[in-house]
Amino acid sequence: MTSSRPSTREAIRAAAAELFPAGGYAGTSVRDIAAAAGVDAALIIRHFGSKEALFLEIMQLDEEAQPLLDGPIDQLGEHFIEYVLNAGDEVRGIFLALVRASDSDGVAPRLREVHDTAFVAPLRSRLTGPDAEVRARLAASLVGGLLYSMWVVGDEELLAADRTDIVRRYGALLQALVTP
Amino acid sequence: MTSSRPSTREAIRAAAAELFPAGGYAGTSVRDIAAAAGVDAALIIRHFGSKEALFLEIMQLDEEAQPLLDGPIDQLGEHFIEYVLNAGDEVRGIFLALVRASDSDGVAPRLREVHDTAFVAPLRSRLTGPDAEVRARLAASLVGGLLYSMWVVGDEELLAADRTDIVRRYGALLQALVTP
DNA sequence: GTCTATAATTGGATAGAC
DNA sequence: GTCTATCCAATTATAGAC
């Protein structure tokens, strides 16, 4: 609002959003971000306070990234897996960067938060029954496990496999937690 | 073999095996390891070549860490989940440290290797059918997802939940991939 | 084999001119 | 708001005495 040139701050944000997931938190220096953004390194600290503050400001999910869960309950499993596989680089990048930087005290709570809002809460909202809480969290484990093996581990055979087959098979497992 | 005092090298190994999983790769300095081991920092480089070489020498699974898979095939799901939950700090520590350091080019292949030998291969060996390969890798995703949510994310409700309940529920999902 | 001292680099963050 | 110059701390790794 007070800025006369909004481009600088946005350029830093855009560069950070690209470099942090690619190179990791420790592997991405403030100077790297500054160079990619075409600005001076000092401006990053001046605008965001610290490297970690910038990281945490970028690595969060806005409301729009929440998956739609309007569909029929008996297809929730497949639909959610399909969403996770297609949900674009943004969610995947945030997930990846947070997981790999989660040994830092500052980012560990953020990973919990993103995991909760992206996986647990949407599933929890549509589950019923006495064990809904545990089932929702196991469901979130299952979903996170797919992201883990494909993008953290980088399982080549899984990445090369037929996506509709994965959606069908893995979605059926998720469905078993949703409607036991 | 050539060393007159095997204690130094072992002391370094022990300290590294404890500090790396706890503090992460970037968060653990050579000096930290040296202090914990009660040796000089220069000896670490002299004995292992580099920090990364030490990390990679520690963060691997020896054969003994492989789970036994002798039991009945129709209880493999529960047994494997039970193994993963109880399999001690060693496997968990290696898994954790590798996941969080997997943005480095040097450790990414090692994570794939450990994931393969600890999760994929044991399951793959007991699966039959045309889609055994994909099913084994989805099963490994499922298993890794549980470790992810409990130990990387640190889902408190899941950690506090009844383990036998988790084994029963999550094991049933794994079983559905083993014997469809 | 071990340790002291230090090199050589890189990092985040700051001060102050413009 | 922006940039130049720099500080200061921390890192891995090495050289050489003992």
Give the gap in angstroms from C-alpha A145 to the nearest C-alpha of chain B. 3
Residue A82: both structure tokens together: 């399909």
What residue spans define the domains of chain A?
Answer: 6-58, 67-178
B111, B157, B173 ranked by CB distance to A137: nearest: B157
Q: Residue A141: which residues within 8 A CB-CB, separation 6 or more?
A: B145, B146, B148, B149, B150, B155, B158, B170
Task: Identify the closest residue of chain B to A110 by CA–CA distance.
Answer: B153
Confidence at residue B163, expressed as pLDDT on a 0 to 100 scale:
98
Q: Tell if B36 CB is < 7 Å from nucleic strand D.
A: no
Put simply, the answer to whether B157 touches A134 (Cβ < 8 Å) is yes
- pTM comes to 0.95
Cα atoms found within 13 Å of the Cα of residue B54, Cβ hemisphere only = 29
Residue nearest to nucleotide D14 (CA to C1'): B42
Distance B34 CA to C2 C1' (A): 13
Residue-wise pLDDT tens digits, A137-169: 999 999 999 999 999 999 999 999 999 999 999
How much is the pLDDT for A2? Answer: 43
pLDDT of the residue at B65: 72
Residue-level pLDDT at B4: 40
> What distances in angstroms separate CA A97 from CA A21, A88, B133, one per listed residue?
5, 15, 29
Closest residue in A to B149 (Cα) is A141
Low-confidence ranges of chain A (pLDDT < 50): 1-4
| B18 CB contact with strand D at below 7 Å | no
**Low-confidence spans in chain B with pLDDT less than 70:** 1-6
CATH fold for domain B6-58? Arc Repressor Mutant, subunit A (1.10.10)
* Contact between residue A155 and residue B123 where contact means Cβ atoms under 8 Å apart: no
Residue A59: CB partners within 8 Å, gap ≥ 6? A20, A94, A97, A98, A107, A110, A114
Q: Which CATH superfamily is domain A67-178 in?
A: Tetracycline Repressor, domain 2 (1.10.357.10)
Q: What is the pLDDT of residue B3?
A: 45
Cβ contact (<8 Å) for B158 and A149?
no
Q: Please give the pLDDT value at position A4.
A: 40
Contact A148 B148 (CB under 8 A): yes
Identical fold between B6-58 and B67-178: no
Q: Measured CA to C1', what is the nucleotide nearest A54?
A: C12
What distances in angstroms separate CA B115 from CA A149, B75, B89, B136, one per listed residue? Answer: 9, 22, 16, 12
Q: What pLDDT score was predicted for residue B158?
A: 98
